[in-house]
Amino acid sequence: MTNAPITTTSPIDSFQGINPATGEALPGFFQEATTDEVAQACELAAKAFSEYRKKSGAEKAKFLEQIATEIEALGDELLTRAQAESGLPLARLTGERGRTTGQLRLFADYLREGSWVDARIDTALPDRQPLPRPDLRQMLRPLGPVGVFGASNFPLAFSVAGGDTASALAAGCPVVVKGHPAHPGTSKLVGEAISRAVTICGMPAGTFSIVQGRTVAVGMAIVNHPAIKAVGFTGSFRGGKALFDAAARRPEPIPVYAEMGSTNPVFFLPKILQEKGSVLAQSYVGSVTLGVGQFCTNPGLAIVQQSPEVDMFLQEAGNTITKSQPAAMLTQGIQRAFTEGIGKLSEAEGVNVLAQATAVESFAHGTPTLLKTTADALVANPALAEEVFGPSSVIVEASSREQLLAVANGLEGHLTATVYGTDDELLEYTDLLEILEQKVGRLLINGFPTGVEVSHAMQHGGPYPATTDSRSTSVGTNAILRFARPVCYQNFPDALLPDELKAANPLHIWRLVDGKWMS
């Protein structure tokens, strides 16, 4: 598991990292985890849970901060390996490392403050008629061991020490990570950093484990193990739905919090295009191609309303995408799926390729592409709005305001939706905003959705099929709520209560006492 060395010879059932820019196999072989090894990790996590669940907020906070410190101590070795395995530029990875350590420290601060447990106290009313009220005290408690699946597009921030791991550990849940096979060396380095933090902070063995592998069997072994009580996943719809279905078939079904993709529709209203259509076209293409389009918030769908200004917008967007440069995608498999998806879209009835960058013959380069269709075609074929992961977007032209609203009404669930409009125009389209509020987890005005702030107020989730649970977020401190459940303590002696619920409030946290918030 975490301490297994990188071997220099090719053992049976092993694999290597691949440089997506060149197709070159990178140094080191990584062992495919066996079913027994996965079971051992899950059983260790279950054993650790009995102790780790009792750790105080301060102890867990120190642990998360130590993880951040150990990751930073890896220095350039981590960034160099991550670049080789992902093809992402060093500047992007440096920022992503900062986001990774920053969210660990954010959760540490959140734990020290302590009010996340949502403590609620209804004191006893022995003289109440016709029946007395018992003393009732409720707070959130950890679920149990959590299985986490690393994502391909964020080898640090959504991977081994990413938001799922950070929030699960913060909640008091041991974690078993399935490292993404696209960056096994990066995963191993970060896994070792977390393991060092476990030892330094005196956390129980099994608080964290990582298993690696390319096969579906490794991930399914985690989901199906009875010790695992929840799963966090970021990836494709197909992968997330398979895990969700497997978890539902277990003798004891468990929640799977899967972020499964989104096309994040952007609505450009007529007046704003009159004022700044050219600038918006350029910014739109910049958002589409950012990170080779491999963000879950990539604007893969744009909706406009017929007007002379739209023609100018389309021309400028097409010119801009033509000048963009193809770049290596995360894996050859992702590049193939992108190319096939563009081919399928371009052959669909009513869809035309508006513009495309010059293709580059290479191992895994994706070619930026804009496609155009009509609202009628989209209504007839809703699959046109499905995600094609990569640097592309479909522009949908509506013939009227009513048709634009019909497009919005027909959307499935997405992570985000954006509306661009002037101040007066936005007031005229409040009905559009009301529709979109029912479709997404984050609604933006005059700003592209790429870029997700890690904060207390962020919501990174949305109605199905964007996620399997629209009430949850995978970014921000509310992510901790996925891995906790409410427990009520009735008529407990004060000495037996958790500190969060004791009469004296020794942690000085905010609590709802007899219907009033107080600290």
Please give the positions annotated as active site.
259, 296
Give the number of C-alpha atoms closer than 13 A to the C-alpha of residue 215, restricted to the C-beta side: 12
Phi then psi for 14, rounded to 5 degrees?
A: -120, 165
CB 333 within 8 A of CB 153: no
CB 433 within 8 A of CB 417: no
Query: Pick from 371, 382, 369, 367: which is nearest to 336 by CA?
Result: 367
Q: CB-based burial of residue 79 (10 Å sphere; 0-12 exposed, 13-18 middle, 19+ buried)?
A: buried
* Amino acid at position 130, single letter: P
Q: Tell me, what DSSP letter sits at residue 291? A: G
Token digits of residue 76:
């350039």
Q: Rounded CA gap, 391 and 328, in Å?
A: 11
Query: Pick from 204, 262, 157, 233: which is nearest to 482 by CA?
Result: 233
Adjacent-strand bridge partners of 517: 512
Phi then psi for 420, rounded to 5 degrees?
A: -100, 125
Q: Rounded CA gap, 143 and 483, in Å?
A: 5
Contacts of 232 (CB under 8 A, 6+ apart): 146, 147, 148, 149, 164, 165, 167, 168, 257, 474, 482
Element spanning 400, H or E? none
Query: Pick from 332, 318, 380, 14: which is nearest to 152 by CA?
Result: 332
